[in-house]
Amino acid sequence: MGRADPLVSGKKLPRNAYIDLLRGFAIIMVMLLHFSLTYRPWHYGPLKTVFGKDVVYNVLIWGNFGVTIFFVVSGYLITSNALRRYKRLSAISMKNFYVLRFARLQPLLILSLSVITVLGLSGISPFVNNSKPISDLYLGVLSTMTFWQNILMQYRGYFNYCINVYWSLSVEDMFYLLFPIVCTVFRRDLFIAIFILALITFAPFYRATHEHSIFYLYANLACFDAIGVGCLCAMLATRVEIPATVRPLVVALSVLIIVHTWLNGFVDENRIFSFSLISAATGCLILAIANYDNAGWTHSLPVRCVRWFGRHSYELYLFHIIVLAGMRNIVPAQVLGYDAQIPWLILFFIVSSLIAGLAARFIGDPANRNLRERFLNRRIASVSVV
């Protein structure tokens, strides 16, 4: 069943529980990745001896695929929201688009970078790399605010424990900067789709020629294909609806491909196309779930918890690494024994969730709403961006 157009009905579009579930899964895996890179839980007890180090290691360490899933979802949401507002991509308003992106992303980013800067200038080691000059902290903040932090990291290496994580935001922001320009230049949906398809096709070749450097992971051209897949899915979703009888099969096959690719990681022969497979499978999954009403099981308590993580994925993304850096400063990895791993991990999720929820409630959401109402007309501002 399709959903009503908010500009026609005059009502805000309800959230898609399946999309929130997908984003919730992705942010949980990213948080597990960063926790595991700090505390190496697969080196201890049952995680190593019972479940097997390789399985646990693969599930945790390939959390970068969670970022790929985020890219696909972001591309889908940005394009689908633009189509709902303007009916066609060529009619997109650059001013409205940039104001909406700024209102959603920048207020909380400014807050998180301010916290990192203050703690870094205080000399707390996880917030400033003592082997790097303090200018790297300032440069990292500037590059994050101006969408080239991933490029800086390619040349400076891993220069700051917290700011390094924001490389993916720079990729998304750069895509957002270019997206309305591409739509305005190419005008017809077909030409826009061909251009995006060219990015998708080029990305594996780019990764193949840079597979021995971190360009392979963090360069714009290595990541734009995942966002592009999401854009194409949004364009397809307005024209194609997967029949209800086929939908479970598409979901099952998509999930199977994601799980299989995830467990095999991005090493050896998988380096070139693993991200492409994750992107394509996520795109197919989104096409299968995007235009259907939320089922009753999505309201169960465990699912609602994951959906909450999905709704607050951006806030969690910004602040979980600050929480983890603080915990790392209190209890270094070499001090934390196996018995404390799970309680420490639970504490990490609780504190991160609390801060993310408070930041969204009292800073992010009010700032987003006020900026939209101040700089946009009511008709555009009322269409939610998620």
Distance CA 330, CA 187 (A): 54
Q: Residue 13 above 70 pLDDT?
A: no
Task: Give the CA dihedral 166, 57, 66, 245, nearest 10 degrees.
Answer: 180
Q: What is the pLDDT of residue 131?
A: 74
CA distances from 277 to 207, 309, 334, 354 (A): 14, 25, 36, 34
233-261 pLDDT, tens digit per residue, is 999 998 888 888 999 999 999 999 999 99
271 pLDDT band, cuts 50/70/90, is confident
Q: What is the pLDDT of residue 323?
A: 98
Question: How far from chain centre, in Å, is Cα 119?
Answer: 25
Q: Residue 1 above 60 pLDDT?
A: no
Count of beta carbons in the 10 Å neighbourhood of residue 104: 19
Q: Residue 169 above 70 pLDDT?
A: yes
Q: Residue 218 above 80 pLDDT?
A: yes
pTM comes to: 0.92
193 pLDDT band, cuts 50/70/90, is very high
Pair 153, 159: CB distance under 8 Å: yes
80-130 pLDDT, tens digit per residue, is 999 998 889 999 999 999 999 999 999 999 999 999 999 999 999 889 887
Distance CA 159, CA 214 (A): 13
Q: SS in 3 state form for 82-134?
A: HHHHHCCHHHCCHHHHHHHHHHHHHHHHHHHHHHHHHHHHCCCHHHCCCCCCC
In the chain, which residue ranges form alpha helices assigned H by DSSP?
Answer: 6-9, 17-39, 45-49, 53-61, 64-86, 94-121, 135-145, 149-156, 167-186, 189-209, 215-218, 220-237, 247-264, 274-289, 301-311, 313-330, 341-359, 365-375, 378-381
Q: Residue 216 above 60 pLDDT?
A: yes
Q: What is the pLDDT of residue 380?
A: 58
Pair 312, 357: CB distance under 8 Å: yes
Q: What is the pLDDT of residue 244?
A: 87
CA distances from 256 to 35, 200, 268, 358 (A): 25, 22, 21, 36
Q: Report which of residues 105 and 134 the model is more confident about.
A: 105
269 pLDDT band, cuts 50/70/90, is low
Q: What is the pLDDT of residue 342?
A: 87
